[in-house]
């Protein structure tokens, strides 16, 4: 779209189905590269990606040429297929339905990048659900507790 100028920074958070700790250190960097490739194939800008065994955080500069839900559908379905095709887990891998997306001004981007890069340290002190609940409250997102990420089985 000529003469269209945007600056959209989004942190996206999503979890492994039932928050099972299936993302292993041995292949998580390859997973992040796969997801980065998906994001960049749509001309969005990858700013940071990291996570722990049961969820990931992504910070992108998003172009207005695609809906966020379509992008997340492609990321989650493609990466699940990649994990399963490469037999990286003993059981079938799937992402949980839904995601969180939170917007930031350019001045906040360096702090968000640091936050994402320090996920392992951060989650020694706080669970994913505590973290996610804080995001929803901080960004004043109305939500129904019944639909927050499901507990591990």
Close Cβ partners of 4 (under 8 Å, ≥ 6 residues apart): 64
Q: What's residue 5's pLDDT?
A: 87
Q: What's residue 146's pLDDT?
A: 67
How many other C-beta atoms lie within 10 A of the C-beta of residue 130?
10
Residue 124 sits at the vertex; the CA angle it makes with 151 and 149, to the nearest 5 degrees, is 20
pTM for this one? 0.88
pLDDT tens, N- to C-terminus, the chain (153 residues) = 678 889 999 999 999 998 889 999 999 999 999 999 999 999 999 999 999 999 999 999 999 999 999 999 999 999 999 999 999 999 999 999 999 999 999 999 999 999 999 998 878 888 887 888 888 888 888 877 766 666 555
What does the alpha-carbon distance between residue 129 and residue 135 come to, in Å, rounded to a whole number? 10
Domains of the chain in start order, with CATH, are 9-147 (3.30.70.1290)
Q: What's residue 19's pLDDT?
A: 80
């Amino acid at each position: 779209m000529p003469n269209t100028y945007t600056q959209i920074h989004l942190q996206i958070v999503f979890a492994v189905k039932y928050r099972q700790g299936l993302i292993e250190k041995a292949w998580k960097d390859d997973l992040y590269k796969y997801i980065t490739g998906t994001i960049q194939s749509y001309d969005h800008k990858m700013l940071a990606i990291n996570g722990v065994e049961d969820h990931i955080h992504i910070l992108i500069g998003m172009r207005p040429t695609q809906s966020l839900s379509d992008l997340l559908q492609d990321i989650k379905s493609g990466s699940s297929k990649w994990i399963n095709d490469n037999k990286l887990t003993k059981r079938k891998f799937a992402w949980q339905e839904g995601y969180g997306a939170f917007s930031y001004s350019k001045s906040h981007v360096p702090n968000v990048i640091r936050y994402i890069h320090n996920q392992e340290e951060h989650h020694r002190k706080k669970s994913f659900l505590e973290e996610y609940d804080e995001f929803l409250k901080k960004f004043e997102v109305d939500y129904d507790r019944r639909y927050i990420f499901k507990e591990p089985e």
